[in-house]
Amino acid sequence: MDKQRYERGWEKLMEIDGEGGQRVIESLKEIAPDLGSYVVEFAFGDIYSRGGLDLKSRQLITIASLLTQGGCEPQLTVHLNAALNVGLTPAEIVEGIMHCVPYTGFPRVLNAVLTAKAVFQERGVTGPGAASRE
């Protein structure tokens, strides 16, 4: 195990995903601890630690990728929280989700928006509500 990558990754994971990310790693301890290490080392120590794009852009991309493949509601929950953690507003998050309709159709977008609704409620943040339609 590469200590430096792991530590850099853990710090990033805590900065971005916070408790939600920690819970994922812990859930793997008995069954597949190495898988948790790869998440920390590769996803966070390698990829999220790169320069070239800020964390807000990275979270919008993550949400788009997760919602497009479907069936990833648990991961979407973690990363919608992460999106708030790195400073995206609820309105920006919902806007990013809605932007996917022409590419994925409505069902995947509806699933993601309703997941976001649950995350916002649990966090006590107010959803965008009033439309920003021009």
Footprint on residues 72-111 left by its own copies (CB under 8 A): 72, 74-75, 91-92, 94-111
Separation of alpha carbons 67 and 101, rounded Å: 11
User: Applying CB under 8 A, does 14 fall inside the site for its own copies?
Assistant: no
60 binds its own copies (CB under 8 A): yes
Q: How far is the C-alpha of 110 from the C-alpha of 114, rounded, in Å?
A: 6
- For helices 73-85 and 106-123, give the axis angle rounded to 10 degrees: 50
Residue 42, CB-side half-sphere exposure with 13 Å CA sphere = 6
DSSP 8-class letter at 46? I
130 token code pair: 């009033």
Of the candidate residues 5, 14, 77, 86, the single one contacting its own copies (CB under 8 A): 5
Select 5 or 18, whichever has its Cβ closest to its own copies: 5
Options 13, 16, 62, 85; binder of its own copies; rule CB under 8 A = 62
- Residue 33 binds its own copies (CB under 8 A): yes
Question: Which residue from 22, 26, 65, 123 is in contact with its own copies, where contact means CB under 8 A?
Answer: 65
Specify the DSSP class assigned to residue 134. -
Name which position in 7, 19, 23, 32 contacts its own copies (CB under 8 A): 32
